[in-house]
Structure 1
Amino acid sequence: MSDELHRARRRHDDDRAAGDPSYARRSFLLAGGALTAGLVVGGGTAPAAAATRTTAFGTAPAFDPARAEAAADAQVARILLRIKPPRFPDRWFDITAYGAVGDDATDSTAAIRAAIEACHAAGGGHVLVPAGDFRTGAIHLLSGVDLHLADGSRLAFSQDPAAYLPVVPTRYEGTECYNYSAFVYAYQQRDIAVTGSGVLDGRADATHWWDWTGGPPPNEGPDKTLLLQQAADGVPVEQRVFGEGHHLRPNLLQFNRCENVLLEGITAKDSPMWNLHPVLCRNVTVRGVTIDSPHGPNNDGIDAESCTDVLIEGCTISTGDDCIAFKAGKDADGRRVNVPTRYAVVRDCEMADGNGGVTAGSETTGGVTDIFVRDCRMSSPRLERAIRIKSNPHRGGTIANIDVRRVTVGQAADAVVEIVLNYANVTTGDFPPDLHGITISHLTAAGAPRALNLLGLATDPLRDIRLHACRFDGMEEENSIQYVDGLRLDQVWINGVRADN
């Protein structure tokens, strides 16, 4: 049995033991719709893999685009059937009834907390933030609570780090610790939501939060180094305590180990770092959200990390980093937790500024698999890449079955598609990623320096990368392709010239 088949069988068995309804799809590599040879599925034996085809970039499985698209569509349908947004009783708790004042001056933290606790105690419902500017510190949601921001409402978060104490269990860039609370936070809760048309305003700027990223001390550098060393040394999470006196920035919103999550309609802006960060969550819907945070460092828009069953649709995103990123823990701590992100659908979103439109990585240690991107539009002179997958031999993890279809790219500042295994210029390590089975079809791009930047490693090539029915116009430079085994270009046009292999 090959190593790849052994891994596929193990994932299949793990999913079956966990009761995952999609276990029967394990090891599907988009090789013309065929399952890996010999894998027992649903009481039978899957057919052998399709014939191979030799190309300039190695031997690739024969590829039937129509069959592969049908198989991917069937998996998307199964994922969407499992994703069900939470529903809430028709009970309303107006924060002004608990003492909140929307004058952009009064501290409403205690009033918002009281309204959330009352809603939870009553069996759930909606905590209403009416029109107005409400100053607040950390908001902690409880099971059964929808925090609803009415039209014209704004939660203006304190710029004082003390407003986010005591410390809470969190993940900082893929490593678990105790740190400042996210501005909106939940831990081990069910049926929670933030909805409405109001604004979560992190109020971060060059002198609050963002100044922790570099420049003269104090900054986050020593704390990041310490945290990673603690993880490498196996220090228990409970002893990795930061917060007061330290400089690890919190997220604008983090839901940690929660189930049945809805984020809908809201605008998020000016976060200290990552904006919306569900981590170790199951059944997550992010719908119609606007991320307006193009200026801050590490200001990712939506980062789903170690999550299962995720739908991101109809969102508009402009950030100082990746617009949407799928992550799964980092290095030693990612291997300790070892939970993948899998079964995610992104559709009908618009991206402007950002380092990547839709990204996997760089925190890939637990694995990022079964990601489907459909009907998105991306364009900005400050959008570096449209589709970006990044990892390195310290991160490891399996990155597989990522299927991108009908993406329209206007302008990008670097490669339209970038898949690299040397992130942060790391090319050696004990944990090479297993990256294979990436399909991009019906993508069009109007202008960028280059179409493709594909870089595996000499000892760890990218495998089975397929582009079908794609058109790249206005490309200024040649593709950069190294260490790729099984690259397939089918009906791919670059500057009007067919580039099939």
Structure 2
Amino acid sequence: MAQSSAAAGVISAGGCSTAMTPVNDFAWNEEAQAIRNRITPPVFPDRSVTITDLGAKPGKGHNVAAQIKQAIEQLAEQGGGKVIVPAGEFYTGPVHLLSNINLHIEEGAVLHFIPEPELYKPYVFTRWEGTELMGYSPLIYAFEQTNVAVTGKGTLEGGGSPTHWWPWKGKWKEADWGDHPVENQKFTRDILRQMGEDNVPVSERVFDENYLRPPFIQPYRCTNVLVEGVTIKNSPFWLVNPVLCENVTVRDVHCDSHGPNSDGCDPESCKDVLIEDCVFNTGDDCIAIKSGRNGDGRRVATPCENILINDCKMEAGHGGVVIGSEISGGVANLYAQHCEMSSPDLDRGIRIKTNSIRGGHLKNLNYRYFRIGKVKDAIVINFYYEEGDVGQFQPKLEAITIDHLHVVEAKRAFMMRGYPHTPITGVTLKNITFESVEAPSVVENVAEVTQQNIRVNGLPYEI
């Protein structure tokens, strides 16, 4: 259970006392407010170690991983506290958090993660695009820990670039790298996915030739997680990726990464998650809710549930608030509100993507009071994502509501593609205005859609 911020001898992660009860920002819905009341950031003992006091030196020629590890272990033995990275440019390998540790990046500090893959070994238990394996350590990682945080007003620099990490993607957009015959993720990815389908034990999913880029921040099977205040740049892969965690807060985080698969925040198979006051300027989805891929996701069989999104800003990205595509475990109880999106590089606003290999039961998804300035496709529900309709696990949508959406400029208002045998159902659309839409919507195999007060280009509209 999350601890009360009023507990004796502790302070909040940022160093200030925390309000006893959260702001009543989800009071419009009883269930959403109950989730909000349960989500409480971890608190930490009023104890700290600054890494420079242990001999850490700034500058590219110094790897401070040993001093960070020493500070974490020293504080953990004492019951926890704050590991401080002070102002300056510091360079490190992976950081593994322990229970009751807050990694605090002070304002003016930049913690660079050295982009040398061998530093991110030995392999750890991780998940890559929804399939579990023994893979490169995430840049910041915690496994089966309680009360962990990454906070502060400093910057985390992931080292992703056209020369490091990102080329493993293979051919991507207009990048000047191509499909390398060896150093290419597809060769590892395809074998891993087959292992997932064949139910190979995770301990045996190990690759000598591994070109699967690590995520930036990945707490795995953790309870009471906080990521707050930091700016995250140039991630090798997904930026904030809690997996199988409970009681997660991601607040006031600025995600700025334009490499391949630079998703901003991807909670996977988590329970009770709050994402608020964040800015996403990314090379892929801004927020994507996930729960495992195909057979491996069904083996783990854990939905992503009780997710709150509040007051976030989405700039560039493939999608603003997204469900999928690795969604085989399902998702339930999403409440997203008061988000702003706008960019000529924003492909989609509200997006649900799956197919008949992924499947997934998606229920009680609620979006309200969104404002979109410029977007290509505003509302997307796509059952044909990637593989199309070649599987036996039909997606199921139930109780999807979009209320009070205002779009200034869109290429298309709706792109909704269900299957002839499994149409899109359970959707309610109301109080939606599109000021300017360039092209007709794409609507295929859609049934049981409730519509109220939809206007496109100044005129009443029905799907």
Matched, 1:110 2:66: yes
Query: Which residue is equivalent to 2:137?
Result: 181
User: Which amino acid counterpart does residue 216 of structure 1 have in structure 2?
Assistant: H
> After superposition, what is the alpha-carbon deviation per residue over 1:197-253, rounded to whole angstroms, capped at 9, x for unaligned?
0111001111111000112222011100100111111110000013x5310110011
Instruction: Output aligned runs, 1:318-397, within 5 Å.
Output: 318-397=281-360
Give, in angstroms, the shift of residue 415 of structure 1.
1.1
State the SS of the aligned residue for 1:116: helix
Query: Which residue is equivalent to 1:38?
Result: none
- The separation in 2 between residues aligned to 1:455 and 1:290, in whole angstroms, is 33
Give, in angstroms, the shift of residue 433 of structure 1.
1.1
Matched, 1:445 2:407: yes
Q: TM-score, normalised by structure 2?
A: 0.91
Conserved? CA contact 1:72–1:403, under 8 Å: no
Query: Which residue is equivalent to 2:206?
Result: 241
- The separation in 2 between residues aligned to 1:425 and 1:228, in whole angstroms, is 14
Q: Which 4+ runs in 1 deviate beyond 6 A?
A: none
Query: Which residue is equivalent to 1:298?
Result: 261
Give, in angstroms, the shift of residue 480 of structure 1.
1.2
Query: Which residue is equivalent to 2:108?
Result: 152
Matched, 1:400 2:363: yes
Counting helix residues as a fraction of each chain, which structure ranks higher?
1
Query: Which residue is equivalent to 2:460?
Result: 498
State the SS of the aligned residue for 1:366: coil
> After superposition, what is the alpha-carbon deviation per residue over 1:97-139, rounded to whole angstroms, capped at 9, x for unaligned?
1221122321101011000111111101100010011110010
- The separation in 1 between residues aligned to 2:221 and 2:361, in whole angstroms, is 22
State the SS of the aligned residue for 2:62: strand
Query: Which residue is equivalent to 2:76?
Result: 120
Structure 1 residues without counterparts, runs of 5 or longer: 1-69
- The separation in 1 between residues aligned to 2:196 and 2:330, in whole angstroms, is 18
State the SS of the aligned residue for 1:75: helix
Query: Which residue is equivalent to 1:462?
Result: 424
Give, in angstroms, the shift of residue 468 of structure 1.
0.8
Q: 1:207 aligns with which of 163, 172, 178?
A: 163
Give, in angstroms, the shift of residue 425 of structure 1.
4.2
Q: TM-score, normalised by structure 1?
A: 0.84
Query: Which residue is equivalent to 1:282?
Result: 246
Structure 2 residues without counterparts, runs of 5 or longer: 1-25, 171-178
User: Which amino acid counterpart does residue 269 of structure 1 have in structure 2?
Assistant: K
State the SS of the aligned residue for 2:436: coil
How many matched pairs? 430
Matched, 1:89 2:52: no
Query: Which residue is equivalent to 1:271?
Result: 235
Matched, 1:231 2:200: no
Query: Which residue is equivalent to 2:90?
Result: 134
User: Which amino acid counterpart does residue 250 of structure 1 have in structure 2?
Assistant: P
State the SS of the aligned residue for 1:484: coil
Conserved? CA contact 2:357–2:387, under 8 Å: no
Matched, 1:222 2:222: no
Instruction: Output aligned runs, 1:18-33, within 5 Å.
Output: none
State the SS of the aligned residue for 1:192: strand
Conserved? CA contact 1:436–1:462, under 8 Å: no
- The separation in 2 between residues aligned to 1:341 and 1:156, in whole angstroms, is 31
- The separation in 1 between residues aligned to 2:29 and 2:61, in whole angstroms, is 51
Conserved? CA contact 2:348–2:379, under 8 Å: yes
Quote the sequence identity (%).
44
Do the aligned partners of residues 236 and 487 (structure 1) sit closer, same or farther apart at CA in structure 2, a change above 3 Å counting?
A: same
Whose radius of gyration is greater, 1 or 2? 1
Give, in angstroms, the shift of residue 359 of structure 1.
0.2
Conserved? CA contact 1:317–1:350, under 8 Å: yes
- The separation in 2 between residues aligned to 1:289 and 1:170, in whole angstroms, is 23
- The separation in 1 between residues aligned to 2:290 and 2:304, in whole angstroms, is 6
